[in-house]
Chains A and B, each alone.
Chain A
Amino acid sequence: MHELSIACGLVKTAVNEAERHGASRVVSIELVLGALTGVEPEALSFCFPMAAAGTTCAGAELKIEIEAAKGRCGRCDATSEVRDLMSPCPHCGGWPLGLEGGREMRVRALEVT
C-alpha cells in the first residue's frame, strides 16, 4: 500500500503551500494522475483522510483528474486512448503500442480559506 506514503507526502505539500499563502484550511486538492502511473486513485483517496487527519487538510476533498495516455499502433497506425500498459489496439488488437503521456503525477491546485 504505497499510496499511504504518497498521501502523507501530498498532505505535507498541501500544508506547506497553504501555510505559505497564510491560509488556515485546505478545502480541496486538485491532483492530476496519469493512467500509466503506479498510483491507484481509489487507494490514494482511501488513504488520504488518514494522512490528512489532524492537519489543515483534514476534511479536504481530493479531486483526481486522470490524464489519459495515447497509443499509436505499430501494425495499423491507429491512435487510441490507452488505459493501461497492456492495452492492445482497439482497432486491430495489435500490441505493443507506441505510448505517449499518462505519466503525470502533479498537485495542480489547492482551494483554501
Chain B
Amino acid sequence: MCGTCGCGKPDEAGTAGHVHESHAHDEHGHSHGHHGHEHATQTTTLIQVGQALLAENDRFAAQNRGLFDARKTRCFNLISAPGAGKTTLLEKTLEALRARSVGCAVIEGDQATDLDARRIAKTGVPVVQIETGRSCHLDAHQVQHALEDITLPAGGLLFIENVGNLICPTEFQLGEHERVTIVSVAEGHDKPAKYPLAFRTATAVVIAKTDLLAHVDFDLAEARRLVRGLNPNAPVFELSARTGEGMDRWLSWLQSPR
C-alpha cells in the first residue's frame, strides 16, 4: 500500500481530501510504485495527544449524566443478549414501580422496529425508540438525541434498554448511573465466562427467568461463581419477571437512594 495516501485500497480517485502535496491520484492512475522513496525523506512531527479513544462518546455521556443529575433522575443501562428477557423484566418492573408511585421513562434501543417501544407504551410509561439501523450498540450521542423527545421524571428512574448484544455495548458509556447486565437461565450458566466484560463492567447482575430452572440444565451455583469471580461487588438478583419471584429485592434496589 502507498504509505502516503493509502491508495493500495480500492480505487477512490477523485475522493475529496484524497490528494496530498506531492501528487494527486488522477495524475498517475494509481500505479505509483515510483514514489515511495520520495516520501521517506519527508520530515514528520510527533504530536502528543493523550486523549481517550472514546473521548467523543465519553463527552456526550458526561453531558447526559449532567441532564440526569439536574432532574435527579437515576439512569439504568440494561444490557443482555437478545432474548434474555429485558423487555419483559422492564414491563413488570414499570408496572410495579407505578404501583409504588415512582415516575419512570424508557429509552428503547433496537436495530429495527418499534415493537419493544409499543410493548412498553402499553404500561403508560413515556418511551422513546432509537432504531440503531446497522449499529450493534447504543452510544451516548444517540441517547442525547432521544432525550430531546422525552421528559425525564424528576426524582424518578430512566431505563435505557440497550440493543440485545453482550459485546458491543460494553465500552460505550451512556451517562448511566447503573449498568445492569442480564442473563437468563435459558441461555446457559457459562454465559458470564463467554462474555466476561459485560459482567465485569456491570454494577448489578440479573439472573432472569428463574421459573425455568426446573426445565433447563442451568447450574445456578456455577453461574454465581463466575459472576462473583468477574465482579465481586455487584449485587446479583435472581428473579422471574413472570412469576414475580425475587422481584421485590430488585425493585427495592432500583429505588434505594445511593
| A residues in contact (CB < 8 Å) with B | 1-2, 5-6, 9-10, 12-14, 17-18, 21, 23-25, 27, 31, 33, 36-39, 49, 52-56, 58-61, 84-86, 95-96, 105-113
| B residues in contact (CB < 8 Å) with A | 1-7, 9, 12, 15-18, 20-21, 42-57, 135-137, 139, 167-172, 193, 196-197, 200, 229-230, 232
CB-nearest residue of chain A to B198: A38
CB-nearest residue of chain A to B231: A96
User: Are B172 and A112 in contact, CB atoms less than 8 angstroms apart?
Assistant: no
A2 to B20, CA, bound (A): 30
User: Are A107 and B20 in contact, CB atoms less than 8 angstroms apart?
Assistant: no
B5 to chain A, nearest CB (A): 5
A59 to B15, CA, bound (A): 13
CB-nearest residue of chain B to A8: B56
* 6 shortest interchain CB distances as A-B pairs: A59-B6, A96-B229, A85-B196, A2-B168, A105-B53, A38-B171
Residues A53 and B12 in contact in the complex (CB < 8 Å), given A13-B51, A58-B17, A96-B230: yes
Residues A106 and B53 in contact in the complex (CB < 8 Å), given A5-B135, A85-B230: yes
A54 to B18, CA, bound (A): 5
Contacts of A107 in B (CB 8 A): 49-53, 55
Residues A9 and B55 in contact in the complex (CB < 8 Å), given A2-B137, A24-B21: yes
Contacts of A84 in B (CB 8 A): 196
5 additional A-B pairs beyond A5-B137, A53-B12, A109-B47, beta carbons within 8 Å, are A2-B137, A2-B171, A14-B49, A38-B168, A106-B53
B229 to chain A, nearest CB (A): 4
User: Are A23 and B47 in contact, CB atoms less than 8 angstroms apart?
Assistant: yes
User: Are A37 and B15 in contact, CB atoms less than 8 angstroms apart?
Assistant: no
Contacts of B55 in A (CB 8 A): 9, 13, 107
Contacts of A18 in B (CB 8 A): 47
Residues A85 and B200 in contact in the complex (CB < 8 Å), given A38-B170, A59-B7, A96-B230: yes
User: Are A113 and B139 in contact, CB atoms less than 8 angstroms apart?
Assistant: no
Contacts of B18 in A (CB 8 A): 53-54, 58
User: Are A59 and B45 in contact, CB atoms less than 8 angstroms apart?
Assistant: no
User: Are A110 and B15 in contact, CB atoms less than 8 angstroms apart?
Assistant: no
Contacts of A109 in B (CB 8 A): 46-49
CB-nearest residue of chain B to A9: B56
A46 to chain B, nearest CB (A): 12
